[in-house]
């Protein structure tokens, strides 16, 4: 969607983006605080999550959670909240005709929660149900366990269920007071933000009822370490096996490297004609496979994951190794690069069809490190990816030899070690 973006730095220390989308019929709000799990003691790890469940509940304006939700949603508006290792975000979307009402309700919820004892007891049960459900997600369980083994801030849902009993409503209140300050707040508001609406929004946010605080909370200094041996999580109920392969580089990747790695992921796993997934599907080895990358404060991670029958795992791993080695030596066809660029461009254009989709395109970088992406530059960035850039970032992601491999299933540790040995040449050969 055609739009313009401006950053607002408020007198109270908060800052955010206003995204003007002319004639938009909806308005979206996303309020973010650096308030995640890394800011609490390990035994209190569930405190931020419990707090997030309670903030959009009883407040000084409407002191009963169900009544607040009924008032919020009466014209079809939506709200939600989410917690991760680093952040807590509160979001809302509404029809344009009631944007002020929804903004004010969201601000009251975020700034004046009551944290009632009876609500804590109810949300404690709801969080327990949520974590129990999530613990049945084998990919999630394996991913969290691997993060923990790499030395990153992480606990599995099963561990979190055991630790919940350590959290009290007083812990929740204390964590809120410590983290929900204006200086620690970032926001993205998108919709038909005319000049008069912009002034209205800035005035309202400048008067937000939060302590000023000192600054944005600093991200944790996580240092990934190489696993001494593969992680094996035995689950007798799983007939196939779930796996993740992770490799790290101890620095952040640049925008150009990010773009090159994105194109390479498309070439390797994102389509049914890709080099790894396409070849494996053609041989009947695996139904689906993914790859991706993420960034920490001072490092970058590239991963591959899938579920596969043990009988097919060795052949799949041989394809993974073969195709990555081809990349390392520059055996990449120019037509494959151009096809991946076309796919990336189409995917990018599809992602920005809605107000919410446009806003979310800015949220990742802005909430992570205050960087404002230039949305209109993305097509040029995609076209600027080169073969040499792809080779360079691929080899650098393996060059430091910080890696690990994990399996969840019932195949036995000896078999997992054999698969790990198949992968080792990817790092030892560089």
> Is 357 domain-assigned?
yes
Based on the domain organization, do 122 and 22 belong to the same domain?
Answer: yes
Based on the domain organization, do 253 and 332 belong to the same domain?
Answer: yes
Return the pLDDT at 237.
95
The answer for residues whose C-beta is within 8 angstroms of residue 151's C-beta and 6 or more apart is 222, 223, 224, 225
Which of 17, 81, 27, 18 has the alpha carbon at shortest distance from 49? 81
CATH of the domain at 127: 3.30.830.10
> Is 218 domain-assigned?
no
Q: Are 250 and 298 in contact (CB under 8 A)?
A: yes
> Is 219 domain-assigned?
no
Structural domain including 137 reads 4-206
Q: Which residues of 29-67 are buried (b: 16+ CB within 10 A; e: fewer)?
A: bbbbbbbbbbbbeeebbbbbbbbbbbbbbbbeebeebee
> Is 33 domain-assigned?
yes
Based on the domain organization, do 193 and 272 belong to the same domain?
Answer: no
Which of 73, 108, 110, 111 has the alpha carbon at shortest distance from 94? 73
> Is 265 domain-assigned?
yes
Please give the tally of structural domains in the chain: 2
Based on the domain organization, do 163 and 282 belong to the same domain?
Answer: no
Based on the domain organization, do 166 and 126 belong to the same domain?
Answer: yes
The answer for residues whose C-beta is within 8 angstroms of residue 9's C-beta and 6 or more apart is 15
Based on the domain organization, do 179 and 247 belong to the same domain?
Answer: no
Based on the domain organization, do 411 and 289 belong to the same domain?
Answer: yes
Return the pLDDT at 1.
78
Return the pLDDT at 232.
98
- CB-side neighbour CA atoms (13 Å) of 43: 3
Q: What is the pLDDT along the chain (430 residues), one digit of tens a residue?
A: 799 999 999 999 999 999 999 999 999 999 999 999 999 999 999 999 999 999 999 999 999 999 999 999 999 999 999 999 999 999 999 999 999 999 999 999 999 999 999 999 999 999 999 999 999 999 999 999 999 999 999 999 999 999 999 999 999 999 999 999 999 999 999 999 999 999 999 999 999 999 999 999 999 999 999 999 999 999 999 999 999 999 999 999 999 999 999 999 999 999 999 999 999 999 999 999 999 999 999 999 999 999 999 999 999 999 999 999 999 999 999 999 999 999 999 999 888 889 999 999 999 999 999 999 998 999 999 999 999 999 999 999 999 999 999 999 999 999 999 999 999 999 986 5
Q: Which residues of 283-309 are buried (b: 16+ CB within 10 A; e: fewer)?
A: eebbeebebebebbeebbbbbbbbbbe
Based on the domain organization, do 405 and 280 belong to the same domain?
Answer: yes
Based on the domain organization, do 155 and 62 belong to the same domain?
Answer: yes
> Is 10 domain-assigned?
yes
Give the number of other CB atoms < 10 A from CB of residue 412: 13
> Is 216 domain-assigned?
no
Based on the domain organization, do 46 and 194 belong to the same domain?
Answer: yes
> Is 32 domain-assigned?
yes
Based on the domain organization, do 265 and 116 belong to the same domain?
Answer: no
Based on the domain organization, do 193 and 301 belong to the same domain?
Answer: no
CA-to-CA separations, 249 to 25, 36, 405, in angstroms, rounded = 43, 24, 16
The answer for residues whose C-beta is within 8 angstroms of residue 219's C-beta and 6 or more apart is 34, 38, 86, 296, 297, 368
CA-to-CA separations, 246 to 225, 257, 401, in angstroms, rounded = 11, 18, 10
């Amino acid at each position: 969607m055609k739009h313009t973006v401006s950053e607002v730095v408020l007198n109270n220390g908060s800052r955010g983006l206003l995204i003007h989308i002319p004639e938009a019929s909806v308005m979206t709000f996303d309020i973010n605080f650096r308030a995640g799990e890394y800011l609490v003691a390990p035994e209190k790890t569930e405190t931020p999550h419990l707090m997030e469940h309670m903030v959009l509940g009883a407040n000084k304006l409407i002191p009963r959670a169900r009544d607040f939700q009924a008032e919020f949603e009466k014209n079809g508006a939506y709200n939600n909240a989410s917690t991760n290792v680093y952040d807590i975000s509160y979001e809302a979307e509404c029809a344009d005709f009631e944007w002020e009402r929804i903004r004010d309700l969201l601000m009251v919820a975020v700034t004046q929660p009551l944290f009632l004892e009876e609500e804590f007891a109810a949300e404690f049960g709801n969080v327990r149900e949520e974590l129990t459900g999530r613990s049945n997600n084998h990919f999630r369980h394996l991913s969290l366990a691997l993060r923990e083994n790499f030395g990153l801030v992480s606990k599995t849902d099963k561990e979190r269920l055991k630790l919940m009993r350590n959290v009290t409503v007083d812990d929740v209140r204390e964590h809120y007071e410590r983290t929900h300050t204006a200086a620690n707040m970032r926001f993205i508001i998108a919709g038909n933000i005319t000049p008069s609406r912009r002034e209205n929004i800035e005035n309202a946010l400048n008067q937000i009822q939060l302590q000023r605080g000192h600054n944005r909370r600093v991200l944790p200094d996580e240092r990934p370490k190489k696993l001494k041996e593969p992680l094996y999580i035995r689950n007798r109920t799983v007939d196939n096996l779930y796996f993740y392969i992770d490799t790290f580089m101890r620095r952040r990747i640049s925008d150009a490297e990010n773009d090159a790695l994105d194109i390479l992921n498309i070439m390797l796993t994102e389509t049914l004609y890709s080099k790894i997934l396409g070849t494996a599907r053609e041989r009947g080895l695996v139904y689906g496979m993914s790859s991706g990358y993420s960034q920490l404060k001072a490092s970058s991670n590239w991963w591959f994951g899938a579920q596969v029958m043990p009988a097919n795992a060795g052949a799949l791993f041989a394809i993974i190794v073969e195709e990555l080695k081809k990349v390392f030596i520059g055996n990449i066809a120019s037509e494959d690069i151009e096809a991946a660029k076309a796919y990336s461009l189409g995917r990018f254009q599809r992602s920005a069809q809605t107000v919410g989709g446009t806003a979310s395109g800015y949220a990742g970088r802005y909430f992570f490190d205050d960087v404002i992406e230039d949305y209109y530059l993305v097509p040029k960035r995609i076209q600027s990816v080169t073969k040499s850039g792809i080779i360079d970032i691929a080899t650098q992601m393996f060059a430091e030899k910080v890696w690990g491999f994990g399996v969840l299933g019932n195949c036995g540790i000896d078999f997992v070690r054999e698969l790990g040995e198949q992968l080792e040449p990817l790092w030892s050969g560089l």
